[in-house]
Amino acid sequence: MRLRELVTRHLGLKILALVMAVILWFMAVGKETGEIGLKVPLEMVNFPKNMIIANEIPDGIGIRIRGSVALTRQVAERKLRFSLDLAGAKKGSNNFTMVPDALGLPRGLEVTHLSPSSITVELERLITKKIGLLPVIQGEPEAGYMIDDIALEPNDVEVRGPETVLLGLDRLWTEPVDVTKLTGSITIVTKPAMPSVAVNLINPADIKVNLKISPKLTVRAFKNVKVETVNSVYKFELDTETVDLMIRGPVNAMTELVTGKGLQVILDLAGFESGRFKRKVVVRVPEKMEVLEVKPDQIWVKISKELLDPSNVRELP
């Protein structure tokens, strides 16, 4: 009972004393000053139509606030924000001064530092322009092959971006198209490579790159190629038994032709009797090869009246 009497005796005075102690503590803390640093986000409002920002703008403003500890703590928990009103902004440079009053801080707080204290906003006109495309080719086809033709579908695109960028832009390159080890025609899908994040496609679409891959051609001279005579039943003599050739064809096939495969020079003597005649030679080459020159292309033949042994008569294959 005695303990209870000690607790309850003069209870009202005890509660009053506790309340006064709390008030005095808050008053003491409230008078204590402090300083905090914050980064306040920067937002832009009333952005003008058909304009774009052409320079780098900070995403926030660094500030330092001084005042009572209690108030600075409250402010630190609030979502402060600086707003730039661009309603009257024009093309070119627009300067804005950061005003601490724009933060709406409670009385008793002071902004001691702003960084940056002013913002310059460079505005440019947005324009639309149609620009041609050029492919970027990466790598090389298989040895002995080459790119014979390149066609783009579409071959131009419509873009939108800052006037100063697009006025000086004559063409857009594609993203790299890899042709490494290709041996035949193919269509590869790619995209335009944008010159700036500020430039955008009006109608984004894939670009088809149609590649025609063909064998590389080369021209080679063949000297002293032996002439094969066929279909003669009489003995004969030739003024020359060899000719010189100039042949064009694929590099890889030409290598095989050098070994003597697929190349024939034929002199057909069918129907000729004794006498001296001039006869045109026929050159046979593999498919995709072209005979550019034959020297001589006609050969003098002297045919006697003496018959050949039938076993020596060669017919045209």
The pLDDT confidence band at residue 1, using thresholds 50, 70 and 90, is: very low
Residue 66 token pair = 């001084």
CA distances from 85 to 41, 102, 105, 294 (A): 14, 11, 19, 84
Is 219 or 1 the better-scoring residue by pLDDT?
A: 219
Identify the burial level of 94 via C-beta atoms within 10 angstroms of its C-beta, where 0-12 means exposed, 13-18 middle and 19 or more buried. Answer: middle
- Residue 184 is classified by DSSP as S
Q: Which of 214, 135, 218 is nearest to 182 (CA)?
A: 214
pLDDT per position as a tens digit, 85-102: 999 899 999 999 988 888
Please, what is the average pLDDT of the chain? 86
pTM of the predicted model as reported, rounded to 2 decimal places: 0.62
Q: Which of 40-49, 102-111, 193-202 has the lowest mean pLDDT?
A: 102-111
How confident is the model at residue 308, as a pLDDT? 72
Mean pLDDT of the 277-299 span: 93
pLDDT per position as a tens digit, 184-194: 999 999 999 99
How confident is the model at residue 22, as a pLDDT? 53
How confident is the model at residue 223, as a pLDDT? 94
How confident is the model at residue 245, as a pLDDT? 96
pLDDT higher than threshold 70 for residue 21: no
How confident is the model at residue 70, as a pLDDT? 78
High-pLDDT (> 90) share of the chain, %: 49
pLDDT higher than threshold 70 for residue 272: yes
* Cβ-count burial 4-31 (b if 16+ within 10 Å, e if not): eeeeeeeeeeeeeeeeeeeeeeeeeeee
pLDDT higher than threshold 50 for residue 154: yes
